[in-house]
Amino acid sequence: MLMELISILLLGALFAWISESLQLQLPKWIAIATLLSAFYPLRQLLMELDTGSMQVWLVNESIEWIPRFNIRFHLALDGLSLLLVLLTLLMGLIAVLAAWKEISYKPGFFYFNLLCSLAGVIGGFCALDLFLFFVFWEVMLVPMYLLIAVWGYENRRYAAMKFFLFTQAGGLIMLLSICALVLLHYQNSGEITFNYFALMQHQLSDQAAFWVMLGFFIAFVIKLPIVPLHNWLPDAHTEAPTAVSVILAAVLLKTGGYGLLRFVLPLFPEASLEIAPVVMAIAAISIIYGALMAFSQQDLKRLVAYSSVSHMGFVLLGCYAFTAQAWQGAVLQMLAHGVSSAALFALVGAIQYRYHTRDLAQLGGLWQCIPKLSGMLLFFVVASLGMPGLGNFVAEFLVLVGSFSTYPKLTIMAATGLILAAIYSLKIAHQTLFGTLKLQSSIDLDRREVLMMLSMVLLLLWLGLHPQPIIDLAQQSINQLLVGARL
């Protein structure tokens, strides 16, 4: 099922590339078709999905890969993965729609890379063999790199390079940790294996556990990203084309949070519990620091990028509070931020497409000429400042509730992030939408964009007003974590 899913995406990517030579409009249609047909393998699962009586692993596929090290091509799906896979596919659709008019140069190769990176991400969300996970983790970078480096804006090379180097550094450290973990496991079990479950069984000595955990942690935190390892993000976002920013914000950052929830916490519960206070502090700092940086930016995309840093801080906060609410909050935050930031980037992209600038100083008064776009922008701005009734609020509130009991001071620190969020979010609205119109007017959102945005609006409202199904879906995975942490 999952293998079908991934291979569908890869095949679609190839077709998209080939079709370029036939007709320049073809690739995007193929991309859309591919993403839609990617739901086909999941149909049965989604049909008879019953969150009430659901076992942890919905799907579990495994075939031999590298017998020398007993490495298997092992894909599996639980509630958490399913949620993120769905998010990936949806945001993929959004990204393709966002790229619809913008990408005219070599569209085939563009969509090839887009779909490949999506395939890589989905693989990462499903892989349960550490080697396999690492492979996907790295593979999704290359197409991402190309997307930024070829179709990006002025300073794209620098940004792409920075993005790749940062993540690669994390990746290598993680590879180190994986090797160490496997060898330690070999030492007292006598068999080499990269299997998630096998490695989860075995107990490390405290010190060893700490160092190995640190390797994973750094890799994931770079991807998340967390201050002070966040610097690749603003550049990457600023220079990437709209669709790629959407994918970056909505999906790629989530792999970091997913990694924490899937690997770091279950594999090293004690060690994680040990460093939890420090991590919580870091998270709180990066929430506030990100917000402050966001406020000081003049480039709209940069502003939104820094706001992502601030929001992902909540994910980290949730991961290390070790309570069910906090973990649920982290998951919800990943989804909600995925949608809201994707929408924001899409809208900023739309503005850039119309006015060829992202500079707040040059924008202003857009409401007078493009009210629909402005309304949408206002909506998502409000969402990102955590308006109750929208996904982000529920997520952040759950995170705070979960972490307050154990770390009251840090939680209050993080809560001040809400004020700062309001400040920088309103800055966006104030500088772009209101005041006197500085630029010549332009066409408003067309039907495609309105529908695209409306779908995301509905998603956010759903997350905000009726998140229970999602919570139930993730509950099993969260329970696993609780069991692992012996809470």
Could you say which residues in the range 309-348 bind other proteins, by CB under 8 A?
323-325, 328
Q: How many residues bind other proteins (CB under 8 A)?
A: 96
Of positions 264, 433, 456, 459, contacts other proteins by CB under 8 A: 433
Pair of tokens at residue 377: 């922008």
| Residue among 40, 69, 197, 353 that touches other proteins (CB under 8 A) | 69
Which CB atom, from 273 or from 401, has the smaller least distance to other proteins? 401
Q: Judged by CB under 8 A, which stretch of 28-36, 37-45, 343-351, 364-372 contacts other proteins?
A: 364-372
Asked if 438 interacts with other proteins (CB under 8 A), we say: no
How far apart CA 142 and CA 460 sit, in angstroms, is: 31
174-213 positions binding other proteins, by CB under 8 A: 175-176, 179-180, 182-184, 186-187, 192
Least gap, CB of 330 to other proteins (angstroms) = 12
Residue 441 region, left (φ>0) first, then alpha (ψ -120 to 50), else beta? beta
Of 362, 434, 455, 484, the one binding other proteins by CB under 8 A: 434
Q: Which is nearer to other proteins, 166 or 320 (CB)?
A: 166
- Nearer of residues 95 and 390 to other proteins, judged by Cβ: 390
Among 361, 412, 458, 483, binds other proteins (CB under 8 A): 412
- Nearest partner of 130 among 77, 69, 187, 205, judged by Cα: 69
Nearer to other proteins by Cβ, of 131 and 258: the residue is 131
- The residue from 37, 168, 442, 455 that contacts other proteins (CB under 8 A) is 168
Q: Which is nearer to other proteins, 43 or 466 (CB)?
A: 466
Closest CA to 313 of 235, 241, 421: 421
* Partners of 485 in the β-ladder: none
C-alpha torsion sign, points 118, 120, 123, 127: negative
Smallest separation (angstroms) from other proteins to the CB of 182: 8
Query: Which of 387, 455, 484, 485 touches other proteins by CB under 8 A?
Result: 387
Interatomic CA distance for residues 195 and 462, integer angstroms: 36
Question: Which range binds other proteins by CB under 8 A, 33-41, 241-249, 250-258, 382-390?
Answer: 382-390
Nearer to other proteins, 3 or 37 (CB): 3
Quick one: which segment of 133-141, 250-258, 311-319, 343-351 binds other proteins (CB under 8 A)? Answer: 133-141
Ramachandran region of residue 435, left (φ > 0), alpha (ψ -120 to 50) or beta?
A: left
Cβ-based nearer residue to other proteins, 174 or 276: 174
Q: State in angstroms the smallest separation of the CB of 44 from other proteins.
A: 28
Choose one: 3-11, 45-53, 135-143, 346-354; the region binding other proteins (CB under 8 A). Answer: 135-143
Pairing of strands 71-78, 57-66: antiparallel
Instruction: Indicate the residue among 341 and 432 with the shorter CB distance to other proteins.
Output: 432
Among 165, 361, 458, 483, binds other proteins (CB under 8 A): 165
Comparing CA positions, the residue from 120, 68, 50, 58 lying closest to residue 92 is 120
Nearest to other proteins of 100, 397 (CB atom): 397
And the tokens for 410?
């840090």
Distance, CA of 471 to CA of 424 (rounded, Å): 29
Nearer to other proteins, 42 or 301 (CB): 301
Measured between its terminal Cα atoms, the distance across the chain in Å is: 34
For other proteins, the binding residue among 218, 423, 439, 485 (CB under 8 A) is 423
Closest CB to other proteins among residues 196, 289? 289
Task: Evaluate whether 222 touches 167 at the Cβ level (below 8 Å).
Answer: yes
Residues 466-485 that bind other proteins (CB under 8 A): 466-468, 471
User: How many other C-beta atoms can be found within 10 angstroms of the C-beta atom of residue 85?
Assistant: 22
- Binding piece for other proteins, criterion CB under 8 A, among 1-9, 218-226, 289-297, 350-358: 289-297
| Residues of this chain, 90-109, that bind other proteins according to CB under 8 A | 105-106
Out of 86, 172, 214, 285, which residue is the one contacting other proteins (CB under 8 A)? Answer: 172
- 439 to 468, contacts with other proteins by CB under 8 A? 450, 454, 465-468
Could you say whether residue 430 binds other proteins (CB under 8 A)? Answer: yes
Q: What CA–CA distance (Å, rounded) separates 299 from 397?
A: 29
CA dist., res. 186 & res. 77, Å (int): 26
State in angstroms the smallest separation of the CB of 137 from other proteins: 8
**Residues numbered 4-63 forming contacts with other proteins, rule: CB under 8 A:** none
Work out how close the CB of 39 gets to other proteins at its nearest, in angstroms, rounded to a whole number.
Answer: 26
Determine, following the binding rule CB under 8 A, whether residue 216 of this chain makes contact with other proteins.
no
